[in-house]
């Protein structure tokens, strides 16, 4: 058992080393969030999510409110959920996205993100979505998100 623990610890350190990012690399990725090409912005969001760059949370939150490309907004919502960002502004932005975004796939990603974050603060809003969203997939995923939150 002890040997396994040592191996797991070593692998975690090694993985952290390979997934670390320096300031120059971070700045380069953050600049891509301003690119006119939505695909470039989406790829940058995925990179930030994979690296769990918490410094990018404000930028990802801003994207939910402002980006015109629905795929970019979807990626931003998914990233916040994958990073399990439980900050008040991020959760608020995800709730607003669930309530107001006209694109069902964006609302769906926001619902999934809220379920991944697991904050009990969102139970009322997710219940409303599970009962009333116009899209059956969004309703279904809202119900699943509620189940995940109750398991926490």
Largest CA distance in the chain: 53
Q: What CA–CA distance (Å, rounded) separates 30 from 86?
A: 21
Instruction: Tabulate helix, strand, coil % of the chain (nearest 5).
Output: 80, 0, 20
The DSSP letter of residue 55 is G
Please state which of the ranges 83-87, 95-99, 101-105, 130-134 shows the lowest mean pLDDT.
Answer: 83-87
What per-residue confidence (pLDDT) applies to 22?
Answer: 83
Closest C-alpha among 61, 131, 142 to residue 107: 142
Per-residue pLDDT band at 39 (split at 50, 70, 90): very high
Q: Which residue has the higher pLDDT, 14 or 134?
A: 134
Report pTM: 0.84
Task: Give the dihedral sign, CA 28/29/33/37.
Answer: positive
Per-residue pLDDT band at 17 (split at 50, 70, 90): very low
Q: How many residues would you count in the chain?
A: 152
What per-residue confidence (pLDDT) applies to 86?
Answer: 84
Supply the Cα-derived Rg of the chain in whole angstroms: 17
Closest C-alpha among 149, 106, 152, 111 to residue 129: 111
Q: What CA–CA distance (Å, rounded) separates 90 from 72?
A: 16
**What residue ranges define each of the domains in the chain, with the CATH number in brackets?**
21-151 (1.25.10.10)
Per-residue pLDDT band at 8 (split at 50, 70, 90): low
């Amino acid at each position: 058992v002890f040997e396994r623990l040592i191996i797991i610890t070593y692998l975690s350190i090694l993985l952290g080393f390979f997934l670390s990012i320096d300031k120059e690399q971070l700045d380069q990725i953050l600049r891509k969030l301003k690119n006119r090409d939505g695909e470039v912005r989406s790829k940058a969001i995925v990179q930030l999510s994979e690296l769990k760059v918490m410094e990018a949370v404000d930028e990802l939150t801003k994207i939910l409110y402002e980006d015109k490309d629905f795929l970019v907004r979807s990626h931003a919502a998914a990233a916040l959920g994958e990073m399990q960002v439980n900050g008040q502004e991020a959760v608020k932005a995800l709730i607003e996205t669930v309530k107001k975004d006209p694109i069902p796939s964006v609302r769906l990603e926001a619902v999934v993100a809220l379920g991944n974050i697991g904050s009990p603060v969102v139970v009322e809003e997710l219940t409303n979505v599970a009962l009333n969203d116009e899209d059956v997939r969004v309703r279904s995923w809202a119900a699943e998100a509620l189940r995940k939150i109750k398991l926490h």
